[in-house]
Chain A
Amino acid sequence: MNTNCLTKRAGVVLSGLVFLGLAVPSANASPSRDYYKVGVVTSLSGQMVRGGNVTRRGYDLWAETVNKQGGIEVAGHKYKVRLIYADGQSNPQSTADAAQRMITRDHVDFILGPYASGTTLGAAPITERYKVPMITGSAESPTIWTHHFKYTFGTIPSVDHTAGKIVETVVNQNPSAKTIAIFGINDPFSKSTAEAYRTEAKKLGLKILSYDVVPTDADPQPLVIKARSEKPDILAISGEISNNINAINSMKSINYSPNALLMHYGVNTNSFLKATGKWSNYVIGATLWSPKTPYKGQLFGTAQDYYKTAQIRYGSAPDYTEAASSAAGEAFAAALKEAKLTPPLTTAKREKLMKALEKINIMTFYGPIAFDTSGKWYHDNTKLNPLVIQMINGKAVIVGPGKLGNQKVVYPRPKP
């Protein structure tokens, strides 16, 4: 083989290596900029499109409010935020792909995370690999926190921390309630909620007449018919708002109304109230936030101020997921200020951001935010107390837990 040939081959190999080096994605930041590039990975299509858009509203409202005030102030200078969106398509694999693209192609500084627990679990290993902090303003399944992902945080307390309080409140106020039937949807959040109901029911000595976890699209009619024949004092259902609406429509079709109907999430949302009409009356659920709470923060003001801002911006009342999503942005801002991290964030800076997030302990319109740094709720915000609510004529009345309640649970539930 002659020298020319060898040189040519070496040149081709070298060019190839250089090309590969440029082409291989990295998570390191691109040239300097004076704004934070924030990735939003959530379900903008698919089964969870409703919830994904709720989180998107919360994140958007935070970004707009921060930018109206000039940006996040870090070390005497204000930096605006620019959101980049990616659709997780309501499934974990697509969410993981979307997170990967955001990190390696778009070089985001940090990520505002998905709506659902399943999709959060899809994105978490990606953010872990590339060391990009992510806060989910929505996911509530305890399975997220048991993995101890260093770079994943959540502003909403895990559902095993909250769902049991609903059962506890009803039974403590009505000791005549002795039996319970539980059914839930088979997704990480809803299944965890059903498990939390069951755990609390066992603790309180309730007789569990049935416990079912069903596929997302299952027809609730057979379960409702079964519940009607079992006659539980409490019927506890866990699911997304869509599942809850379908369950109520099934009950309506056979005119069945249990003494207490528990539904955890979404009972105070406009879409649930509109879709269920008078059948939403006396349904008991939980919320992690309400405009009536006394919390106040620097960015949005009071809980009532946030409520009004969101109402004007979107034409509908925010629920706790929307509020928690906006609060996720506030958590990032606090950590960036504390650690004095300016954009763009390198891997080293993102690691510092992660450590700063572990240390924050702030008060916002949403309530306190401080992330656990050990145990089974690692990096979850467990400082917030859930509120047990009962819907009465379209209004959410706080009925517990304990002294937090403004009035007692109406039990048994009057027939609609």
Chain B
Amino acid sequence: MELFVQALISGLMIGGVYLIITLGFNLAFGVLGVIDFVVGEWVMLGAFSGYWLSHYTALDPLAFLPVTAVIFAGLGFLVYLLLNHILKRRSARTLLMVFVFTFGLSTLFKGGALTAWGFNRRSMDTFLSSKTLFLGQFLIPEIRLAAFVFALVAALAVAWVLYFTRFGLSVRAVALDADKARLMGIKVNRVSAVVYCTYAALTGMAGEFIGAIYSVTPQMGVKYTIFAFFVAVLAGLGYVPGLIVAAVLLGVIESLVTIYWGAQYSLLIVFLALYAVLLLAPRGILGKGRRE
């Protein structure tokens, strides 16, 4: 029983990591309709941002979360300008062009990081790295707990903005139908830019946590691009509240399968869960994802 509860806790923490990387990604998809291949590289660059800022200042990497947010919001804005240029053209294959563009950008970021920083893996120590919270006989690594709490707070904050603020209403309107939203007087470009910048900022900050939990390398982004897709599809594309359920579910499945069955089956079970959802609930496990 003890091991089962510990596995659940571990799964929750893993789910926190998935939530943190998918939150912005799902938001961007909901509003822009863009499946952004750069998500993994935002994570990677965010990890490096925390690593280098900490390296040169000798301060804890987590202290630079707000700095990372600002840097990545700025970078996100620049990327958005290019994305918007492609989206505005409304050619026959706009989405494919966007897909190719983001894939190319992802390759550029990865290659650039490899050239600039080399191939060695680096660890990023924070004041939480060696700390463990004990709840009776159960333990929670504090760095993972911090990532989980950050992800949860960010998800709730985003959900609050979306459903309880005027700006959030604009975002939802644009997500529903950008043309009609424009006719209603909503500044669609401005809304989209803010959403993309928020996505880049959130994912960059997620990268700092992930770099601290695991390690930092230019190759680290690929895995998170894949998982962002998984979780977003499971949650229902464009549906933010579903993310919390989907991320936690995936994390718990992975943890339980690893501990009780064998880690070699964890990806298999995760894929099977994904296929089951796609077949039985194509709009996500809560049935509220974007209808294509």
Residue ranges of A at the interface with B (Cβ–Cβ < 8 Å): 45-47, 49-50, 53, 183, 186, 212-215, 217-219, 221-223, 225-226, 229, 241-242, 245-246, 249-250, 252-255, 270-271, 274-277
Q: How far is the CA of A407 from the CA of B162 in the complex (A)?
A: 65
Q: Main SS of the interface on chain B?
A: helix
Complex: chain A residue closest to B107, CB-CB: A45
A246: B residues at CB distance < 8 A: 214-215
Q: How far is the CA of A221 from the CA of B13 in the complex (A)?
A: 10
Q: Could you tell me if A219 and B14 are in contact, using CB atoms closer than 8 angstroms?
A: yes
Q: How far is the CA of A45 from the CA of B143 in the complex (A)?
A: 30
Q: How far is the CA of A158 from the CA of B84 in the complex (A)?
A: 54
Is B112 on the interface with A (CB-CB < 8 A)? no
A53: B residues at CB distance < 8 A: 119
A270: B residues at CB distance < 8 A: 120
Is B130 on the interface with A (CB-CB < 8 A)? yes
A-contact bits for B271-287, CB 8 A (1 contact / 0 none): 00000000000000000
Q: Could you tell me if B10 and A271 are in contact, using CB atoms closer than 8 angstroms?
A: no
State how many angstroms separate the Cβ of A210 from the closest Cβ of chain B.
9
B266: A residues at CB distance < 8 A: 214-215, 218
Q: Given A219, A253, A277, which contacts B132 in the complex, CB threshold below 8 Å?
A: A253
Q: Could you tell me if A245 and B259 are in contact, using CB atoms closer than 8 angstroms?
A: no
Complex: chain A residue closest to B9, CB-CB: A225
Interface stretch of the complex, out of B20-28, B65-73, B90-98, B121-129: B121-129
Is B213 on the interface with A (CB-CB < 8 A)? yes
A-contact bits for B133-163, CB 8 A (1 contact / 0 none): 0000001011110000000000000000000
A-contact bits for B189-206, CB 8 A (1 contact / 0 none): 000000000000000000
B142: A residues at CB distance < 8 A: 253
By CB atoms of chain A within 10 A, which of B123, B130, B267 has the most?
B123
**Provided the pairs A213-B263, A222-B255, A249-B213 are in contact, do residues A254 and B123 lie with their beta carbons within 8 angstroms?**
no
State how many angstroms separate the Cβ of A269 from the closest Cβ of chain B.
9
Is B254 on the interface with A (CB-CB < 8 A)? yes
Q: How far is the CA of A186 from the CA of B258 in the complex (A)?
A: 14
Complex: chain A residue closest to B263, CB-CB: A214
A271: B residues at CB distance < 8 A: 120-121
Q: Could you tell me if A49 and B7 are in contact, using CB atoms closer than 8 angstroms?
A: no
Q: Main SS of the interface on chain A?
A: helix
Q: Could you tell me if A49 and B219 are in contact, using CB atoms closer than 8 angstroms?
A: yes
Q: Could you tell me if A223 and B263 are in contact, using CB atoms closer than 8 angstroms?
A: yes
B201-221 residues with Cβ-Cβ distance < 8 A to A are 213-215, 217-219
Q: Could you tell me if B119 and A225 are in contact, using CB atoms closer than 8 angstroms?
A: no
Q: Given A186, A222, A226, which contacts B264 in the complex, CB threshold below 8 Å?
A: A186
Q: Could you tell me if A222 and B130 are in contact, using CB atoms closer than 8 angstroms?
A: no
State how many angstroms separate the Cβ of B274 from the closest Cβ of chain A.
15
Q: Could you tell me if B121 and A242 are in contact, using CB atoms closer than 8 angstroms?
A: yes
Complex: chain A residue closest to B224, CB-CB: A217
Q: Could you tell me if B2 and A222 are in contact, using CB atoms closer than 8 angstroms?
A: no
Q: How far is the CA of A205 from the CA of B114 in the complex (A)?
A: 46
Q: Could you tell me if B6 and A218 are in contact, using CB atoms closer than 8 angstroms?
A: no
- List 14 other contacts, CB 8 Å, given A49-B219, A221-B144: A45-B114, A49-B119, A212-B263, A213-B264, A218-B258, A218-B267, A219-B17, A222-B255, A225-B7, A226-B258, A241-B121, A253-B132, A253-B141, A255-B130
Q: Could you tell me if A225 and B259 are in contact, using CB atoms closer than 8 angstroms?
A: yes
In the A-B complex, the 5 residue pairs with the smallest Cβ-Cβ separation, listed nearest first, are: A253-B141, A214-B263, A222-B258, A275-B123, A271-B120
Q: Could you tell me if B122 and A253 are in contact, using CB atoms closer than 8 angstroms?
A: no
A274: B residues at CB distance < 8 A: 120, 122-123
By CB atoms of chain A within 10 A, which of B11, B120, B125, B129 has the most?
B120
